[in-house]
Structure 1
Amino acid sequence: MIKPSTFSIVALDPATGELGVATQSKFLAVGSVVPWARAKVGAIATQSWANTSYGPKGLDLLEQGLSPQEVLDRLLEEDPDREFRQVGIVDFQGRSATFTGSECFPWAGGRNGPYYACQGNILVSEDTVIAMEQTFNETGGELADRLIAALQAGQKAGGDSRGQQSAALLVVKDKGGYGGFNDIYIDLRVDDHSSPIDELARLLRLHKLYFPRENEELLEIDDNILSEISSALSSLGYLEDSNQDKESIMKAFEKFAMKENLEERLREDNKIYRIVLDFLAEKASNR
């Protein structure tokens, strides 16, 4: 049996409909085992002596209309090794449940409430899940930010008693994937790292750069902004000089964006995202 002894949080953002799981473990590639989520259905973390069938089976049961507690009861009833399992579930209505079997290595346990469930095993102490719960409930911003903050708080409070190795973040929402073709909004994994949660936070910052979000700051490309873009592109070698017409400058900017994987950031309304302008300026200054 697979034993990703770890801590995790599953959660729903009722305002956006995003469902997510964040997890950390002294275990290689925890993201390949623990997190499961389905847009408009629910999210599940399966850990300890993990039964990975709990993920797809549990999501199917949620989709059929069972509550998280009913799903847990059904999964555990069918599993002779249930006392070795640890599971957290939240559904699209915000109902939650968590379970820790009696054979999970201490400290092991969980806490849950509306829109979230936190759980962990082989932890330094209960303080880890208490810190995760408190931080998640008190932190604002996007669901992904709140989940990462919860992991960071759990680690600061003690975390996995064996140390750190891997971490993962999975967030789904309806048509939230690349180009809107699937529901996988964020799927980031740190498989082997001395500080996996910090590395996961860095990857999330990159994700925010590459992919647009709602209510981001946009700037009209007036003469001043155009001059900034032109100067930076010239410094980076995309323009022979900064004294070019607007069409040439924006064609050069498009080449820059495509090279930097910022194609999702290109617009046709004479506006630029503040985060992209800042990234362009940073690249030019570091040249």
Structure 2
Amino acid sequence: MTFSLVARCAETGMFGVAVSSSSPAVAARCAYARAGVGAVASQNVTDPTLGPACLDLMQAGASAREAVAELVSQRDYMAFRQLLAVDARGVVAIHSGAKALGVVGEATGAGVVSAGNLLAAPGVPAAVVAGFEAATGHLGDRLVAAMQAGLAAGGEAGPVHSAGMMLVDKVAWPVAELRCDWDDAGAPIAAMARAWDVYKPQLEDYVTRALDPSEAPSYGVPGDA
């Protein structure tokens, strides 16, 4: 009941994850990324421990393929899981267990991998990857375009209600973590896109505010000097 992608920007080294689902708060359970290391999506009867574990393995020197293979061989219940990863070299990997739900699909590209379950059609992840590869600009723009392409290709078999996007760059925290945890109208990807349009121009300012508040621009709120 989820479709997602993880990706690395070849120009900047930034990593990102985007995900949408009919379940609530999908990004809280499924999206993981670490600056300089990689990005991971853990989905389909989700085990939230898989994301950090995969990132730990890659940080210790494993490739995305090695990290995913090790987890598949060592963890219980991997037949129920989907796990997507991209590493610092842009190598991608994916595991879709035999008990993944409904129509399952997966697709890879250069530095990007997408997968889904309970899909409207098995080609949805290929549409996500194609949307990412056709888009230009900031990694966040490309993630949004990819998810919109997946939705246009059918998305889930039923309406989606939550979506989220995480970006990491050169600092230890996510430089963007935007979520729509529930949308009754079934348009969480559109809500995520609107949030990104608002946040994108301020992204670097929030990093500056953390690193050197004396250089921070105005907060633009009532009472700010």
Q: TM-score, normalised by structure 2?
A: 0.89
CA distance in 2, matches of 1:36, 1:260: 35
CA distance in 2, matches of 1:99, 1:34: 14
Contact 1:99 1:110 in 2 (8 A): no
SS of corresponding position for 1:199: helix
- CA offset at residue 162 of structure 1? 2.0
1:203 to 2:195 alignment: yes
Contact 2:85 2:92 in 1 (8 A): yes
Q: How does 1:98-117 map to 2 (within 5 A)?
A: 98-117=94-113
Aligned CA RMSD, in angstroms, stands at 1.9
| Count of aligned positions | 212
Q: Deviations over 1:88-119 (max 9, x none)?
A: 10001100011111111221121113211100
Q: Deviations over 1:255-284 (max 9, x none)?
A: 7x53169x8xx9xxxxxxxxxxxxxxxxxx
1:167 to 2:163 alignment: yes
SS of corresponding position for 1:126: coil
- CA offset at residue 11 of structure 1? 0.2
In structure 2, the gaps of 5 or more residues are 206-216
SS of corresponding position for 2:175: strand
CA distance in 2, matches of 1:82, 1:199: 32
The letter for the 2-side match of 1:151 is: M
- CA offset at residue 128 of structure 1? 1.1
Residue 152 of structure 1 corresponds to 148
The letter for the 2-side match of 1:24 is: S
CA distance in 2, matches of 1:114, 1:130: 13
Residue 174 of structure 2 corresponds to 184
- CA offset at residue 183 of structure 1? 3.1
Q: Which has the higher contact order (CA 8 A, sep 6+)?
A: 2
Residue 258 of structure 1 corresponds to 220
Q: Deviations over 1:109-151 (max 9, x none)?
A: 2111321110000000022111101111111111111011110
Contact 1:12 1:115 in 2 (8 A): yes
Aligned pair partner of 1:15 in 11, 22, 40: 11
Contact 2:180 2:192 in 1 (8 A): yes
CA distance in 2, matches of 1:6, 1:98: 15
Residue 45 of structure 1 corresponds to 41
The letter for the 1-side match of 2:151 is: Q
CA distance in 1, matches of 2:143, 2:103: 22
Aligned pair partner of 1:91 in 76, 87, 90: 87
The letter for the 2-side match of 1:205 is: D
Q: Deviations over 1:13-63 (max 9, x none)?
A: 021111010000001100110100000000000000111111111000000
The letter for the 2-side match of 1:6 is: T
Larger radius of gyration: 1
CA distance in 2, matches of 1:19, 1:40: 8
Contact 2:105 2:123 in 1 (8 A): no
CA distance in 2, matches of 1:145, 1:205: 9
CA distance in 2, matches of 1:123, 1:78: 28
